[in-house]
Amino acid sequence: MTSRSLEKCRIRFFACLLILLPAVSLAADNLTWRQVDPENLVFMEIGEGRVTLELNPLFAPRTVEQFRQLVRDRFYDGLSFYRVLDGFVAQGGDGSDLGELSLVPLIKAEFETELPADVRFKTVQRGDLFAAETGFIDGFAAASDAAGKIYWLTHCPGTVAMARGDGADSSRTDFYIVIGQAPRYLDRNMNVFGRVIEGMDLVQRIQRGRTDENGIIQDETRSSRIRKMTLASDIPKDERLSAFVVDTNSGGFERLLEDRRNRKQKFFHNKPPEVLDVCQVPMAGRVTK
Amino acid sequence: MTSRSLEKCRIRFFACLLILLPAVSLAADNLTWRQVDPENLVFMEIGEGRVTLELNPLFAPRTVEQFRQLVRDRFYDGLSFYRVLDGFVAQGGDGSDLGELSLVPLIKAEFETELPADVRFKTVQRGDLFAAETGFIDGFAAASDAAGKIYWLTHCPGTVAMARGDGADSSRTDFYIVIGQAPRYLDRNMNVFGRVIEGMDLVQRIQRGRTDENGIIQDETRSSRIRKMTLASDIPKDERLSAFVVDTNSGGFERLLEDRRNRKQKFFHNKPPEVLDVCQVPMAGRVTK
């Protein structure tokens, strides 16, 4: 925290401590960072600015492969977020207007998976409302069944997944970004394949549709658009931005979770229950030159 | 749903059904509406547009009384959202720059309460992660202890509460709106006194501060501002807008909850657990002439 903002805190002391709480945790000592593989790093330029995504081929190899190909083919460039419900999802990337949809294959469902032996699941909460256990796998919020055998990526704010019809294998190009309270009831039912690691403030500016029109934006000239999507690995190394996310396997992250689970600050006159909502742990990354 | 959007759905059928799910619930038959008391209805004009709040004097009588007076005194007009953390809160209404703060009294804590016998608590979920029970009281998300004796308003997206320092009785004028995944760990620790019933899409456009500066916006010319706050009851009746919120005591709302808890659509290949996150039930209201 800069001295200038500290000074402001003194002037505005009524509010400062509340806001310090989560930020202090984010800036915890010994927090280590993992560099995102450029093959899994996507820059999505929208009218509102640059949004950075990390793809997850461990959980959704087929979806990630198809998404990468669509990005490389410039399929998404110019397409709109045509259906956006505040508090739910921003959905875009529909190419049916282009008349080339039939060339794009359907994706076979990959809703959940078993984990390779070398992949670590960092437990956050046992007895979560929607799963036997929640936690993080390499920065991605995830959950498991009671047997600890099946794992899936959970729907949290910033989660990126493929939309589909009723058929499990019916997703193709349309994707959505979660922009509201985690719709966990969708867990184990969608091809979740990535998350926003920077720029959620910009995603929150995406033009909404009306609730009574299911979020569909009738006047397409009003909708927010994807200007350009680029895979970092397709950018020459010396021009490429790098992205870093918190290493959820590190000791520093363990302490961050513990600080949030067991809040000891005198601010809390009623001590909160020692539980954690996996979707409420701030997991923003940073993008640098 | 209009025929035009249905047509779009056919064209874009891959994604339509996903998005229909929550909206269908919102438009459920027999949903009845309650008109908001003009004494509890506040129109907050911000640069982004009109945001409508409902105050809750049942849970926070002293806070609501002070807030109403501040609104009538035009205290908030022109003040900024000076600390905004994406995924957490938008905080504004600090008058220390005006040099008149000492005239505004501190508010004695009102974090939780017992319920009068005639107030109905509509149960949503027993064994919630953060409370023995969650539910709604007249449209407000709330929770109770195991004995069913103490109740409090929960922190959900759109919740409006007073900021404070470490002291329980230290809130005064600064308030915050929750803009991200419900920070339930703040429950029973803040004077929660209202909720946004319309305009959360505009609240989501409020200018953010940097995470590494705790959301404080250093350059005040960049911050979003409150142009004007008005209590509906101060507007002449014939010029006044009316606001309606879902009647959470109605049979229609009971069915809406049941539809969300027990999802039977063929869309769900893995049936979700029969649980509900009280903060994930869409509770937007509507404002009309």
pLDDT value of position B100: 58
As separate numbers, helices (DSSP H) first and strands (DSSP E) second, chain B gives 5, 15
pLDDT value of position A29: 57
pLDDT band at A8 (very low <50, low <70, confident <90, very high): very low
- Spatial distance between the Cα atoms of A267 and A281, rounded to a whole number of angstroms: 19
Nearest neighbour of B83 by CB, restricted to A15, A156, A164 = A15
Residues of B (123-152) whose Cβ lies below 8 Å from A? 125, 127-131
pLDDT band at B212 (very low <50, low <70, confident <90, very high): confident
pLDDT band at A205 (very low <50, low <70, confident <90, very high): very high
Report the relative pairing of strands B49-55 and A133-137 from DSSP bridges: unpaired
ipTM: 0.92
pLDDT band at B117 (very low <50, low <70, confident <90, very high): very high
B chain contacts of residue A20, beta-carbon cutoff 8 Å: 214
Answer yes or no: do B20 and A172 touch at CB < 8 A: no
Closest-CA distance of chain B to residue A218, Å: 7
Other beta carbons within 10 Å of B170: 18
B chain contacts of residue A179, beta-carbon cutoff 8 Å: 204
Answer yes or no: do B272 and A20 touch at CB < 8 A: no
Answer yes or no: do B181 and A183 touch at CB < 8 A: no
A chain contacts of residue B181, beta-carbon cutoff 8 Å: 156-157, 181-182, 277, 279-280
Q: Helices A13-26 and A3-11, interaxial angle, to 10°?
A: 140
Please compute the mean of the pLDDT values over residues A27-46 and round it to a whole number. 88
pLDDT value of position B92: 96
For residue B113, which amino acid is it?
A: T
| Three-class SS state of A235 | coil
For residue A180, which amino acid is it?
A: G
Residues of B (19-58) whose Cβ lies below 8 Å from A? 19-20, 22-23, 26-27
Per-residue CA distances from B88 to A102, A159, A200, A281, B177 (Å): 42, 16, 12, 10, 9
What letter does residue A239 receive in the DSSP assignment?
A: G
Most A CBs within 10 Å, among B124, B181, B203, B256, to test the A interface: B181
pLDDT band at A100 (very low <50, low <70, confident <90, very high): low
Reference A158, options A131, A139, A132, A185; nearest CA is: A139
Nearest neighbour of A18 by CB, restricted to B22, B26, B163 = B163
How many Cβ contacts (< 8 angstroms) between chains A and B? 265
Answer yes or no: do B15 and A176 touch at CB < 8 A: yes
CB A157 within 8 A of CB A182: yes
The label of the residue with tokens 């891959």 reads B14
B8 pLDDT exceeds 50?
Answer: no
What would the pLDDT profile of A148-194 be if each residue is shown by its tens digit?
999 999 999 999 999 999 999 999 999 999 999 999 999 999 999 99
Look up residue A195 and give its two tokens.
């998350």
| Three-class SS state of B258 | helix
pLDDT band at B99 (very low <50, low <70, confident <90, very high): low
B chain contacts of residue A205, beta-carbon cutoff 8 Å: 204-205
Answer yes or no: do A14 and B183 touch at CB < 8 A: no
Closest-CA distance of chain A to residue B23, Å: 6
A chain contacts of residue B83, beta-carbon cutoff 8 Å: 12, 15, 19
Answer yes or no: do A189 and B15 touch at CB < 8 A: no
Task: Say yes or no: B98 contacts chain A, CB-CB below 8 A.
Answer: no
- Spatial distance between the Cα atoms of A273 and A2, rounded to a whole number of angstroms: 32
Residues of A (174-213) whose Cβ lies below 8 Å from B? 174, 176, 179-190, 200-201, 204-205, 208, 211-213
Residues with Cβ within 8 Å of residue B116, at least 6 apart in sequence: B58
